[in-house]
A and B are shown apart, each in its own frame.
Chain A
């Protein structure tokens, strides 16, 4: 299949050669039995709704056909009454026949409105519920999936599962399934009526139909292929545009404005050409469908006319037949319109189910081996013994890690980026399971401890100081949702930063997040500390922020930090000199091994790697101060 990226344009002719569009290039069939069954499975929960929609679709299709038929019959009854026909036998005066017919028509039209209204509501209810359920399932599954999933999947891609893919599915559920049912029933009804009126004429239409249908489907396939090519250039276009704006400073510094404009024009022209290919195909398709149905009307006129002349048929019958031809052919175009919707929905469904099928990493203890982590007042004891770990089995990032953290100790992890500090943290928090060796928490094998159990006693502070949209209060309370406002205050007070938080624009009610992004880095850090303390953790994991804050808050942050660390076993990925210096023990990590450990003073005196790292820290903190 076509790959996303360059198409017809070489890397020299564009600014951005690789377009960051995702999820493309999969081979998608318009119909996949397996997927359809799974989608249907979601609807099984709403069986009553589902069957009533199908029934209503049948009713609507029959109404559509009957209305058309009634039109022909009403005129026919008014203009030609033969005593021997069934109309004649009813004995209704032609003048009144018209009134009755029209009255029936009005009644049917109103009935149609009622049926349509009920059906639309039902369809939407079903589709929206399926969508809501699926979304909920996706979200619940996301909570179950381990960090390995998040580390290898981009945020945008996960987001798309819950947004655009679900939307594609929604469209299919609201449009395709019900409209397809109407279309099918309508066609069956129309052909049955036509056959009843005149078997010969009906047979002509019936034999021609598969041909029309095939032409129609083939055209849709062609269209969908050329449409995909349009989308390719479109993503190329937007990718180039995005990078042109992001790199505008480089462009102007190197006076590439004109060349960039030429490149962009080239992409626009390619995009236009592909659009025109689609337009040509579309321009051929719709009139073609029109011609085919008119051909049948012409044939009907000719054949039907001769049959009228020979007395086998009446003008009314022919009129009815002609209106029914319309009823018969209109659904074919509707079905054709569904092609792209179905294609996108299938692709979306496939990706959604793929996500739901992604098995979470096995972090829970094997059945029967689960042990409870005791809740004590002192910090947690942590032991690593010859631990080896790799995100991929054959590429270990940690080798033979051995250390011990006694209750209440603060352990600083230092080392270069990529040395393995974060991986050690990931293992302690049981975000991942180690491959070999032994990790013990309070003397219990970590494999036998449920992550939930562990996390209930853990506090975490991330480098990015991530906060949720909402009030400061909600963010601190996040770690213990049942906590009262007063308890939140107490926690802030315990950190010695209640005054700083109450000084915020609206105190604890200050909004953070997109609208309230006005918090300073120091304030964000303090809130994250408070959140961690709120969890009443026995184990604290802290990835220190690299960027510094202003000197005044720096002092307060340090003060809060030392209070936070007090009495808990803490692991700190340290970026601050003061944190390192005051740690009970420093683990120097390099290339996946612990190369040195000891206190600051010991390591500075006897260490080989540490003094150099220390110097870098000095330089960094000076540079920022």
Chain B
């Protein structure tokens, strides 16, 4: 739906100024491709000139024949460029020359048209690739907060559809207008030279055609709009009835939804028929007007042929050329009108493209970015406060803590207390609203973002994997990692069993069309992905929530070995994790309310002790359950 309804027409007072600005930018963009434009234009105008040539020679042949048939009432035909064969030669010779010229010119014209198509397509593709890659580059660099406020469907459309409408502007509007105008100019130049009055009589039809087309596009627009709306509703109903099929069946309401869909279906039919009626009443006028134009040409032109060139008339061949040109021109008028009509649409698209290209990159590298030789892994939060959006409440409030290199620190607290936000700030996915986040004593805003993120490996709460092979997902952060390193990471994340069991092992493609993984399996692969780069700082955001307890113990043991001497921050619930941690930070409502070792907290903090004992209960039951089921298996 976003394809149809995402036209955010801006109504700000500076809209007009913006439009002029955008138009200027579009022309500037076109100018960048002037070489390709010029080449296309050259071939196209050449092709049109050759078309004129072919018409002239076939008209000439007609004149030759007519002169031979009626030598008394007609004149000797006039050959173009003064190159004429001897008039007394045998007829077949003269005719062969004329016919040969028609063929030769047609072949040349075919070549010119081939080159036109090729150069215009090359141009279009250059523009498209440039725009798409520019947009994609930009998207890769925009910060998280930007993605928080933009929906992904719209973003995809910007790189595909909207980039297309910018291309359309250059190709359709700028180029096509120039080409059509040039062709029109060329043809009219010839026609005026041959007979100005006849030309004038013939071209009176063009403005009428243009008027019909403009009227058509005006009256069709609201109908298209209302058809789109009815169709949207139809699709929405269809979609809902597919998603909600269980509700429909469960209540036995098939007939009710059938009626509802029937109404929508009828609405769509009616809306469509309105479009069709407009089409049927206005569009045939274009062809009819072209036919009337030919009638004018015949009436006046036939008279001119009758009186003959000597008396101010024209030759039969010339009338033939006029006839052919008028048919050729009918298409040009339509092209000019429809490219002019497409300007607003491509402006809307261009608007959105420029908006994305202009979006500020909030997380940018400072001028003298900090890129250390070696990262020790000391983390410090210095009175940090944060809110995701200006109007939303603080998620972190005056948070201060230090994690020394090599320490393992667990963060505990209820959902929404701000634990994940601490990770987000540490990786500088967002900038702190107040206070400083320091890594190795340097403010993260002074770091080169790339260097910072290479120093920190994250396992997100949501284990997002790409629809690619298992191996490529694991080596996502280190694309050139050798296979044994990938295999080691997979072993450390205790994922080797299900990887080995997959059909193509490490080369198995996962995702919608490939292997479907369970939540725990996804988490283990994302852990493997995070430990492969051997970063000095590892962040685990509830990374083992879907992993069963025994596997978690195995992973934790491996992590203990791997992370020796490196800094680890873990968001977790399980007691074993809290016990293993050097220190536990209790996060509640955006504040750190307690910290210390697990033992200290158990001793001194009643709240913590209560929560831990409850957790202990659960784990005991869990373990006993597992033991029982193991025994049952035996």
Q: Name A's B-contacting residues (CB within 8 A).
A: 5, 11-12, 14-20, 67, 71, 74-75, 78-80, 94-95, 98-99, 101-102, 105-106, 108-110, 112-113, 116-117, 120-121, 124-125, 128-129, 131-132, 135-136, 139-140, 142-144, 147, 150, 155, 158-159, 162-163, 237-239, 241-261, 264-265, 268-269, 271-272, 275-276, 279-280, 282-284, 286-288, 290-291, 294-295, 297-299, 301-302, 304-306, 308-309, 314-315, 318-319, 322, 429, 431, 451-452, 454-456, 458-460, 462, 466, 468-469, 478-479, 481, 513-514, 531, 535, 541, 608-609, 611-616, 618-619, 622-624
Nearest B residue to A281 via CB reads B117
Q: How far, in whole Å, are A452 and B62 apart by their CA atoms in the complex?
A: 80
- Tell which of A159, A254, A541, A612 has the most Cβ of chain B within 10 Å: A254
- Tell which of A109, A318, A322 has the most Cβ of chain B within 10 Å: A109
Binds A, one of B189-197, B316-324, B553-561: B316-324
Sample of 20 more A-B contacts, CB < 8 Å, known A71-B298, A95-B306, A255-B454: A71-B323, A75-B316, A79-B306, A80-B66, A105-B294, A116-B288, A121-B280, A143-B258, A238-B160, A245-B155, A260-B136, A294-B54, A294-B103, A295-B103, A298-B99, A298-B100, A298-B102, A302-B95, A454-B252, A608-B632
| A109 near B291: Cβ-Cβ < 8 Å | yes
- Tell which of B103, B298, B460, B632 has the most Cβ of chain A within 10 Å: B298
Does B236 have its Cβ within 8 Å of any Cβ on chain A?
yes
Q: A242-B156, A261-B133, A268-B129 are in contact. Are A254 and B453 (CB under 8 A)?
A: yes
B294: chain A residues at CB < 8 Å are 67, 71, 105
B238: chain A residues at CB < 8 Å are 139, 159, 162-163
| B469 near A11: Cβ-Cβ < 8 Å | yes
Q: A11-B468, A120-B280, A305-B91 are in contact. Are A102 and B476 (CB under 8 A)?
A: no
Which residues of B62-98 have CB atoms within 8 Å of chain A's CB atoms? Answer: 62, 64-66, 68-70, 91-92, 95-96, 98
Nearest B residue to A464 via CB reads B243
| B256 near A481: Cβ-Cβ < 8 Å | yes
Minimum Cβ distance to chain B for residue A70 (Å): 9
| A479 near B265: Cβ-Cβ < 8 Å | no
| A78 near B320: Cβ-Cβ < 8 Å | no
Q: A16-B467, A110-B288, A238-B156 are in contact. Are A469 and B240 (CB under 8 A)?
A: yes
Does B295 have its Cβ within 8 Å of any Cβ on chain A?
yes
In the complex, the 3 A-B pairs of residues with the closest C-beta atoms, listed nearest first: A612-B625, A460-B250, A455-B252
Nearest B residue to A475 via CB reads B247
Binds A, one of B270-278, B489-497, B577-585: B270-278
A458: chain B residues at CB < 8 Å are 250-252
Q: How far, in whole Å, are A612 and B125 apart by their CA atoms in the complex?
A: 62
Does B31 have its Cβ within 8 Å of any Cβ on chain A?
no
| A264 near B133: Cβ-Cβ < 8 Å | yes
Q: A11-B469, A315-B66 are in contact. Are A249 and B144 (CB under 8 A)?
A: yes
Which residue of A139, A283, A294, A429 is within 8 Å of B114 (Cβ)?
Answer: A283
Does B248 have its Cβ within 8 Å of any Cβ on chain A?
yes
Minimum Cβ distance to chain A for residue B466 (Å): 6
B240: chain A residues at CB < 8 Å are 468-469, 513
14 of the cross-chain contacts (CB-CB < 8 Å) are A11-B509, A71-B298, A75-B301, A102-B302, A132-B268, A246-B152, A268-B132, A276-B125, A279-B118, A279-B121, A460-B250, A466-B247, A478-B247, A609-B625
B256: chain A residues at CB < 8 Å are 478, 481
Q: How far, in whole Å, are A265 and B134 apart by their CA atoms in the complex?
A: 10
Q: Mark B420-464, 1 if CB is under 8 A from A, else 0.
A: 000000010100000000000000000001100110111010001
Does B285 have its Cβ within 8 Å of any Cβ on chain A?
yes
Q: How far, in whole Å, are A535 and B319 apart by their CA atoms in the complex?
A: 80
Q: How far, in whole Å, are A91 and B621 apart by their CA atoms in the complex?
A: 115
A238: chain B residues at CB < 8 Å are 156, 160
Q: Mark B365-377, 1 if CB is under 8 A from A, else 0.
A: 0000000000000
A12: chain B residues at CB < 8 Å are 472, 479
| A283 near B235: Cβ-Cβ < 8 Å | no
Tally of contacts, chain A with chain B, CB under 8 A: 420
Q: How far, in whole Å, are A19 and B295 apart by their CA atoms in the complex?
A: 56
A109: chain B residues at CB < 8 Å are 288, 291-292, 295
| A468 near B244: Cβ-Cβ < 8 Å | yes
| B415 near A623: Cβ-Cβ < 8 Å | yes
Nearest A residue to B272 via CB reads A128
Q: A252-B429, A254-B453 are in contact. Are A308 and B242 (CB under 8 A)?
A: no
| A255 near B113: Cβ-Cβ < 8 Å | no
- Tell which of B242, B253, B614 has the most Cβ of chain A within 10 Å: B242
Q: How far, in whole Å, are A5 and B292 apart by their CA atoms in the complex?
A: 53
A159: chain B residues at CB < 8 Å are 235, 238-239, 242
| B429 near A305: Cβ-Cβ < 8 Å | no
Q: A248-B140, A305-B61, A315-B62 are in contact. Are A291 and B107 (CB under 8 A)?
A: yes
Which residue of B118, B242, B295 is within 8 Å of A106 (Cβ)?
Answer: B295
A102: chain B residues at CB < 8 Å are 295, 298-299, 302
Q: Name B's A-contacting residues (CB within 8 A).
A: 54, 58, 61-62, 64-66, 68-70, 91-92, 95-96, 98-100, 102-103, 106-107, 109-111, 113-118, 121-122, 125-126, 128-129, 132-133, 136-137, 139-142, 144, 147, 152, 155-156, 159-160, 234-254, 256-258, 261-262, 265-266, 268-269, 272-273, 276-277, 279-281, 283-285, 287-288, 291-292, 294-295, 298-299, 301-303, 305-306, 316, 319-320, 323, 415, 427, 429, 449-450, 453-454, 456-458, 460, 464, 466-469, 472, 476-477, 479, 507, 509, 511-514, 529, 533, 573, 614-615, 617-618, 621-622, 624-626, 628-629, 632
| B242 near A256: Cβ-Cβ < 8 Å | no
Q: How far, in whole Å, are A250 and B463 apart by their CA atoms in the complex?
A: 9
Interface of A is mostly: helix
Q: How far, in whole Å, are A294 and B118 apart by their CA atoms in the complex?
A: 23
Minimum Cβ distance to chain A for residue B233 (Å): 9
Q: How far, in whole Å, are A291 and B104 apart by their CA atoms in the complex?
A: 10
| B249 near A455: Cβ-Cβ < 8 Å | yes
Q: A243-B466, A295-B103, A514-B236 are in contact. Are A283 and B118 (CB under 8 A)?
A: yes
Q: A94-B306, A109-B295 are in contact. Are A291 and B468 (CB under 8 A)?
A: no
Q: How far, in whole Å, are A269 and B234 apart by their CA atoms in the complex?
A: 38
Q: How far, in whole Å, are A484 and B429 apart by their CA atoms in the complex?
A: 54
Which residue of B248, B266, B629 is within 8 Å of A609 (Cβ)?
Answer: B629
Which residue of B65, B69, B113, B262 is within 8 Å of A283 (Cβ)?
Answer: B113
Q: How far, in whole Å, are A269 and B130 apart by their CA atoms in the complex?
A: 10
B529: chain A residues at CB < 8 Å are 254
B472: chain A residues at CB < 8 Å are 11-12, 17
Q: How far, in whole Å, are A112 and B285 apart by their CA atoms in the complex?
A: 10
Nearest B residue to A310 via CB reads B91
- Tell which of B251, B257, B298 has the most Cβ of chain A within 10 Å: B251
Which residue of A256, A454, A513 is within 8 Å of B477 (Cβ)?
Answer: A256
Q: How far, in whole Å, are A195 and B405 apart by their CA atoms in the complex?
A: 96
Q: How far, in whole Å, are A460 and B246 apart by their CA atoms in the complex?
A: 8
B625: chain A residues at CB < 8 Å are 609, 611-613, 615
A283: chain B residues at CB < 8 Å are 113-118, 121
| A616 near B622: Cβ-Cβ < 8 Å | yes
Which residue of A74, A144, A265, A294 is within 8 Å of B133 (Cβ)?
Answer: A265
| A239 near B298: Cβ-Cβ < 8 Å | no
| A291 near B513: Cβ-Cβ < 8 Å | no
Minimum Cβ distance to chain B for residue A134 (Å): 10
Q: How far, in whole Å, are A513 and B239 apart by their CA atoms in the complex?
A: 12
| A129 near B280: Cβ-Cβ < 8 Å | no
A318: chain B residues at CB < 8 Å are 62, 65
| A136 near B265: Cβ-Cβ < 8 Å | yes
| B252 near A623: Cβ-Cβ < 8 Å | no
| B621 near A615: Cβ-Cβ < 8 Å | yes
| A431 near B246: Cβ-Cβ < 8 Å | yes
Q: How far, in whole Å, are A283 and B122 apart by their CA atoms in the complex?
A: 12
Which residue of A16, A253, A459, A609 is within 8 Å of B427 (Cβ)?
Answer: A253
Minimum Cβ distance to chain A for residue B279 (Å): 6
Minimum Cβ distance to chain B for residue A393 (Å): 22
